[in-house]
Amino acid sequence: MICDHDTIAAPATAAGGALAVIRVSGGDALTICDRIFRGSAPLADAEGYTVHYGHIIADGRTLDDVLVTVFRAPRSYTGEDAAEISCHGSQYIVSETLRLLTAAGARMAQPGEFTIRAYLAGKLDLSQAEAVADIIASSSRASHALAANQMRGGYSAAFDTLREKLLHLTSQLELELDFSEEEVEFADRTQLRDTMRQIKERIDALRSSFSLGNAIKEGVAVAIVGAPNVGKSTLLNRLLNEERAMVSDIAGTTRDVIEERANIDGIVFRFLDTAGIRSTNDTLEQMGIARTMSSIERAQIIIRLIDASQPAVPVSGGSPSSGQTGRKSAPAVASADSAADTPSPNFPLRPDQTLLTVYNKIDKTPRFALPEGAVGISARNGDGIDDLRRILRDAVDTEALYHGGTVISNSRHYEALTSASEALSAALDGLRDNLPTDLLSEEIRQVIRHLSGVTGQDIVPEEVLKTIFSKFCIGK
C-alpha cells in the first residue's frame, strides 16, 4: 500500500546543522515518543501546539536534551497525531534517536511519505504537495516565488476555474440528452464554441508559461558564443566574479562546454562557456563546436560575443548580414534593422530565445561606434559588466511571477495541459462536425480528467503517486 497506518519517523532537516528536527507521525506517535522521552509530563496527555522540554533516554542514560512539539489530529501537517523532536545536530544523536524510535514501535518513513499522508488527508492537493520539494530546493527569490505560489494554491485556483467552466458545459449537454428540445433549449452552439475556445486559450497560455517557469526553476540557460579568442571565458569569469574558466591567447583553448551558475537580482542564470565557432580540422575542436551548437539549442538567452578590436568577421562563415533576434526585446537585443553591420550568427533562433549582441574589448578601441541595440564591455577590466547583468535580468519577464500570475514549472503539469489542449481541439472539431451530444460531452469530460490529474481531484493511480512523491518530496 502507498500509505498504511504505521507510525513513521524521519529527519525533517538536512544533516550537518547545529540543530536537527526529527518528525514522528501516526496514531501511536506520542505514545512511542513517551517510551524514549522523559519530561515533566507524558506527551500523550499534552495538548496540541505545545512544546515540552526533556531528555532522550538511551539504555538508562541521557542521550540529549531536547524540545518536543506536539501536534494533534487533524490539525497537523499529515492530519495525524505528530511530534517534532528538536535535538542537537550531531549525526550520532540523530541516528541514535531514530534507532530508539524504531525500537519503540515506529518505522522509518519512505521518501515523500509525510507529504503523501498530507495529500491523502486532504491537507494539500497534488500540485501543492509537489511544491513542498520545490520550496525546499529553491535557490533564488524567483524560484521561491514560483514554488510558493503553487504551494499557496495558485495552480489550484487556476485549474478549478477551468474545471468549473467545463463541468458547466457538460451539465448543459447532459440536460440536452435528458429532455426533448421542446422542454429544454440548449445554449446557442456558437456560444458553446466561443466558450470552449476561450478555455483553450487559457489552457494554451498556461502551457506557454512553462518555458519561463522551467527556466526559473532550473536556472535560465545563457550560452556565450562567438569566434575563438573573443573573450568568452574571460566574460564567464567576470560574471561569476571568480576564475572558473581557463583563459589563454591560444585559439581553441575551450574544447568543452563549461557550465556555472550565478544569481542576478533574484534569478539564477546558468552560464554556458562554449568552444569558439570556426572552421577547423581538429577533431577535438570540432566536437567542442558541436557541443556549442547543442548549447545554443537549449539556451533561453544567447550572448553573441564579438571582438570590437578586430574587423567584422562572421561567427561561422558567410558574409556580414543583418542580425537575428528572438521574441524578447531588450536594450542589447540585436534587431534586423540595427545590426546590419555586425556579424550574423550561423544558427537559427527559436521565437522564445533572446539574442544579445555584445562587443568585447572596447577598452582597446575607444573610438569604436557600437551598432544600435548592441552593448559594449571589457570582460578583462569589468567595463559594462553591470549593464550586461541588468540587461540579462530584464530579459527574463517575471511580471506574472511576482504579481499573482500562474506560471507552470512542472513537466507533469505541462504534459497534462498539452493533453487537455489536444482533447479540447478534438471537442471543437466534434462540435464543428455536429458530433452527437453524448460523444461531445465525453470529449469535454476527457479534458476535465486531464486537468484534474494535476491537482489530484480525480483518482490518481498508486504507481503515479509513488513516482511523484519519491521524486519530488524527499524526506518530507
Q: Would you call the peptide bond into 74 cis, given omega within 30 degrees of 0 as the criterion?
A: yes
Q: How far apart are CA 341 and CA 103, in angstroms?
A: 76
Annotated binding residue 23: yes
Closest Cα to residue 358, out of 210, 457, 231? Answer: 231
Q: What phi, psi does 231 have (nearest 5°)?
A: 105, 25
Annotated binding residue 458: no
Annotated binding residue 252: yes
Annotated binding residue 378: yes
Q: How far apart are CA 22 and CA 36, in angstroms?
A: 13
User: How far is CA 245 from its chain centroid?
Assistant: 28
- Pull the grid cell for residue 56: 532522550
Annotated binding residue 397: no
Residue 147's contacts (CB-CB under 8 Å, 6 or more residues apart) are 131, 134, 135, 138, 409
- Pull the grid cell for residue 465: 503517486
CB atoms under 10 Å from CB of 410, counted, come to 22
Annotated binding residue 38: no
Between the CA atoms of 290, 347, 219 and 408, what dihedral angle is there, to the nearest 10 degrees?
Answer: -120
CB atoms under 10 Å from CB of 350, counted, come to 12
Annotated binding residue 25: no
Q: What phi, psi does 82 have (nearest 5°)?
A: -150, 160
Annotated binding residue 337: no
Annotated binding residue 364: no
Closest Cα to residue 216, out of 325, 323, 138? Answer: 138
In sequence order, which ranges of 104-185 are alpha helices (DSSP H)?
113-120, 126-137, 141-151, 154-178
For the chain, report the end-to-end CA distance as a whole number of angstroms. Answer: 18
Annotated binding residue 411: no
- Yes or no: say if 279 and 228 are a contact pair by the CB < 8 Å rule: no
Q: How far apart are CA 77 and CA 471, in angstroms?
A: 20
Q: Which residues pair with 305 in a beta bridge?
A: 358
Residue 295's contacts (CB-CB under 8 Å, 6 or more residues apart) are 221, 223, 225, 257, 272, 274
Residue 210's contacts (CB-CB under 8 Å, 6 or more residues apart) are 408, 409, 411, 413, 414, 417
Annotated binding residue 258: no
Q: What phi, psi does 470 have (nearest 5°)?
A: -70, -25
Q: How far apart are CA 332 and CA 324, in angstroms?
A: 12
Annotated binding residue 134: no
Annotated binding residue 367: no
Annotated binding residue 273: yes
Annotated binding residue 250: yes
Annotated binding residue 251: yes
Give helix then strand counts, H and E, for the chain: 15, 13
Annotated binding site for (6S)-5-formyl-5,6,7,8-tetrahydrofolate: 23, 84, 123, 476
Annotated binding site: 23, 84, 123, 229-234, 248-254, 273-276, 378-380, 476
Annotated binding site for GTP: 229-234, 248-254, 273-276, 378-380
Annotated binding site for K(+): 229, 248, 250, 253
Annotated binding site for Mg(2+): 233, 254
